[in-house]
Structures are given as C-alpha cells and as structure tokens.
Amino acid sequence: MPFTIKRALQWWARERADELALSVDGAPCTFAALYDWSARIGAFLQARGVRPGDRVSMVAMNSLSYAALIFGVMRIGAIGAPINFRSTPSEIAAAFEALTPSLVLADEERMAAVRDAAGDITVLSLHEIEALRECPSVAIAHEPAPDDAAFIIGTSGSTGRAKGVVYSHRTVMTYAAEFAITQPLCGAGSRVFSPGPFSSSSGYLLLNEFIALGATLFIESQFRPERALDLLVGEKITTFQAAPIFFERIAALPAFAGADLSSLHFAQAAGARVPPALLRTWQDKGVVLRHAYGSTEAGGGWAAQLDTALSAPEKCGRGGMFTEYAIRGADGGFARAGETGEILVRSACLTPGYWNNPEATCEAIKDGWLHTGDIGLMDADGNLTFVDRLKDIIISGGLNISASEVESVINEVEGVSEVAVIAARDADFGETPLAIVHGDASRFTVQAIIARCTEKLARYKTPRYVVIEPAPLPRLPSGKISKPALRERYGDAGARLQKVR
C-alpha cells in the first residue's frame, strides 16, 4: 500500500466522510467533499495538459479553492509549486524561470502581475477551481508513489538566490506520523489553527500534514490577532503552531487576559528565538508555549517535549522520534555538550534536495546531515538551544527575507557605494529590514532607495528603516562588512529611528 498523502486523504474521506476537514475564512469543507472536489480538479488539470511531474504554480492568498487545488495537483502526480502572493512581477518571473510550470493559477488581485510575468505559460483563475466544487464526481486513476515529489517550497538563501525545497510524499507522511506518535492528542479529531500562507512550509506542509492525520484545520487568508483569538476560544483549538510574532500579537490584545484557552493542548513557536517574557505570558494562561527548531530543508520543525518546555523553556528540545540534532564544532567534528557551533539535522523527513540544483543539495546535505547555517548548542541530555543565524536571513511576520537580495537591489541606486541590510525589531512583524547605506549622498535619497526596492521587491522585503552613513561601513579582517558591529550599533533602531514607510 503506497505511503502517500493521497492514500491518507482517501482513508479519511471514508472514515470521517462528513466531518469537517477545512475551514478557510469560515468557508467549510468535509473530508469526503475535499476528496471528491480534488478529483474533479485533477481531471480539470489533466484536460489542460498537466501530466505527472509537471509543476503547477499558484499565486494567491489562502482560500478554500486554493487548498482544494493543492490536493487536486497531488492527486494526478503533478508537483505543487506555490509562489509568494506578495511577489512583484519580476520576482514571479524569476520563480517561473526556476520552476518552469506548465500551468499557473492566480486569484484576481494578482492576475495582472502573473500575466505580466507568465509569457507563454497558461494562466487560469482560481474562480475556475471554485466552479468545480459541485460538479459530478469523477475518478482519477493515477496513484502517486511514496518517493514522488509532492510540492516545492521556495526558501531564501544567504546568497539572495531563492532555492526550491522538494517535499516527497514519504517525507510529508513520515513527518506527520512522527508528530502523531509523539503527540497523540494532535492527530485525528484534533482542531488546528494554521495561520501560515500556502506559499510557505508553515502553510502548505501543515495543510498536508494535518489532513493526512485526520485533523480539522482552521485557516485564514490573513492573520488578524483579534480573529485568531476568537478562533482559539470559539473553535476550541487544540493545536496552534506559528512564528513567535503571532503569539506576541495575540497576547497583546486586551481580551487575551480573559480568554478561555483551556482546550489548547499543544502550542509551538518556531522560526526565531522566543522571548522569555512571551513564554511566561502564555504559561500564565495555562498554555505551555513550546520552543521549536526546524527548517524548510529539514522537512518541518520539532518542539521541546513537555519536561523540557517546563524546566528549560528557552530550549528547543531533543528533536523527534526519527529526527536528531548535532552541533558541528570549529574543527569540523561533532561538538561536545555546551559547545557552540553550527546546527546539524538528520531526519527521515529530510528533503530529497533542492529542485534542479544538485550543487546546492550537495553543499547543504553531507553524509546524511543537513547543515542548517544556524548556530546553537546542546546540553548533556541532547536538548538544543538556538543561538543565532549564520545565514543572513531576516524573518518578518514569519516570512524569510534574504538580506543579500535587498542589498543587491539597493546597490543599483546611483551613488550608493556600499549597503548592509540587517534586522530591526518590529512590534508588528517581529523583525523588519533596516538598510544602512554609504555613498555619495548628493546623488541619492532615502525616497529613491525605497522607490527602487518597491519596484523590484515584494513590499514586505522593502526596508522600513534606512540610515545613510557619512563614513564607510565597518569591515571585518576578511574585508566583509561587519554586520555584528552594525547590529550592535543599531540594536535599538526600532525604538530610536523613524520608519520611512
């Protein structure tokens, strides 16, 4: 019997046919309806020439039609290749060049930008997917294999060139099984709030994971803290996984103090260091907020077990049943307990590799270990503590931003000699880009820098803070700009600098 997402969906469509599988912005869909709808979508895609192994890209905000499309693509052996809905036409075009999709679907708000970028690629509206919801049933003969690619998730690298992380049916199902075995209350019948966009692993992976487990997912097209708290309370959510900023914004609401969160069994924060005060705030509500570590390439994230979350909440735990951590020391070998070094991950959930990029795959995965580019340390019990990122990545609202990508755009502005982009603390998004620029200030303005970024980059990547330095930026002995020095200099930028947009 194939160990696939399709088989899991088929099982729950029979065993929990009339139970709620999904609710997106309040629009419901049962397991049986999702299974039937996804078959009609698959037949629709096949009629338009989509074959097993073809990439189907989506550029849209979360919606029920989008979720059904994800399973329709999977049913016929095609590969889902979502693109961030905030992307500019040039970013979309670059994604199309890397992914070479045979078909693209977009929502109305992004249709013009997608058509501008698509060239000869066929572009369809998500409205056509919605129209298939109540059509006659069809049968899909294709049966995916466990090691077939199911979807590709883009990830920002420190070089600025995005890479596509491949997820196979086996890696997704192994991740789901590992989670269900170690957290049995989070499986079939659990109620999950998932705020991540489908263009990220926090959206696309979690959708597949929890549908495969027979859970009910509550998903929103955009995160609003008031709505999130209403869902947690009103829908008696049992599982909530998100970046720390989402937990922070919910906790900041006046209504949080009186909210009944007694149903929330498993709360996981990942993607950035979790402030101790945030851990205490949720624990005061009776919710143990578990610090987690993971990455797109690792196939997911793993939270601390309850003993660690209670006794040492700053630690990320020991990995999973089929996942282990190690620390690479300065000599290239495994570091001893308490020594800081690069975090390594070895897992049955590990990506098979980057899409059409064997060189990057070989560089990242060596001897079965993923070299994450993050810094951490482990204690004698194997509990990991995340320290910092080696990779030059800013995480804003749970989305990764390559500092190098933003720097390359600002360097195009006439008169700019050097630029460094670092993270500034932000109350709404956790982090936001801060650009520190040096050059001939008579030839450029802050407004010109923002205009160039707005033209070339998605809005969330455009710096909210810009500093023009009269002196050259500090350098390391290697000649590289010293970002540690700049981070120290501008550690309080969010408090003392004025936002430029």
Q: What is the pTM of this model?
A: 0.86
pLDDT in tens, 271-313: 777 878 889 999 999 999 999 999 899 988 999 898 998 899 8
User: Where in the chain do CATH 3.40.50.12780 domains reside?
Assistant: 1-10+28-171+193-216
Examine the pLDDT at 94 and tell me if it is beyond 80: yes
Examine the pLDDT at 461 and tell me if it is beyond 90: yes
- Mean pLDDT, residues 405-413 taken together: 88
What superfamily in CATH does domain 393-496 come from?
Answer: ANL, C-terminal domain (3.30.300.30)
* Residue 67 burial class via C-beta count within 10 angstroms: exposed 0-12, middle 13-18, buried 19 and up: buried
* Residue 185 burial class via C-beta count within 10 angstroms: exposed 0-12, middle 13-18, buried 19 and up: exposed
Examine the pLDDT at 159 and tell me if it is beyond 50: no
pLDDT for the residue numbered 158 = 45
Point out the least confidently predicted range of 19-28, 150-159, 184-193, 393-402. 150-159
In whole angstroms, how far apart are CA 350 and each of 262, 297, 299, 322, 465?
34, 6, 5, 10, 36
Point out the least confidently predicted range of 127-131, 258-262, 453-457. 453-457
Residue 404 tokens read as 């190098």
The type of residue at 60 is: A
Mean pLDDT (the chain, rounded)? 93
Rounded CA separation 296/313 (Å) = 23
pLDDT for the residue numbered 245 = 83
Strand, coil or helix: 99: helix
Rounded CA separation 372/152 (Å) = 18
**Residue 204 CA from chain centroid, whole number:** 8
218 secondary structure, DSSP code: E
pLDDT for the residue numbered 41 = 98
Q: Which of 312, 311, 264, 314 is nearest to 292 (CA)?
A: 314
Q: Are 457 and 91 in contact (CB under 8 A)?
A: yes
- Mean pLDDT, residues 419-440 taken together: 93
Q: Which of 329, 305, 309 is nearest to 319 (CA)?
A: 305
Rounded CA separation 24/341 (Å) = 41
Per CATH, the architecture of 1-10+28-171+193-216 is what? 3-Layer(aba) Sandwich (3.40)
In whole angstroms, how far apart are CA 222 and each of 27, 28, 189, 195?
14, 17, 25, 7
pLDDT in tens, 315-358: 999 999 999 999 999 889 999 999 989 999 999 999 999 999 99
pLDDT in tens, 182-215: 999 999 999 999 999 999 999 999 999 999 999 9
> Whats the size of the chain, residue-wise?
501
Rounded CA separation 379/327 (Å) = 11
User: Where in the chain do CATH 3.30.300.30 domains reside?
Assistant: 393-496
Backbone angles phi, psi at 228, to 5 degrees: -60, -45
Examine the pLDDT at 141 and tell me if it is beyond 60: yes
Examine the pLDDT at 440 and tell me if it is beyond 80: yes
Rounded CA separation 272/398 (Å) = 9
pLDDT for the residue numbered 476 = 61
**Residue 469 CA from chain centroid, whole number:** 34
Residue 163 tokens read as 């890479």
Q: Which of 168, 220, 169 is nearest to 22 (CA)?
A: 220
Rounded CA separation 428/316 (Å) = 24
More confident residue, 9 or 246: 9
Residue 494 tokens read as 């969010």
More confident residue, 65 or 310: 65
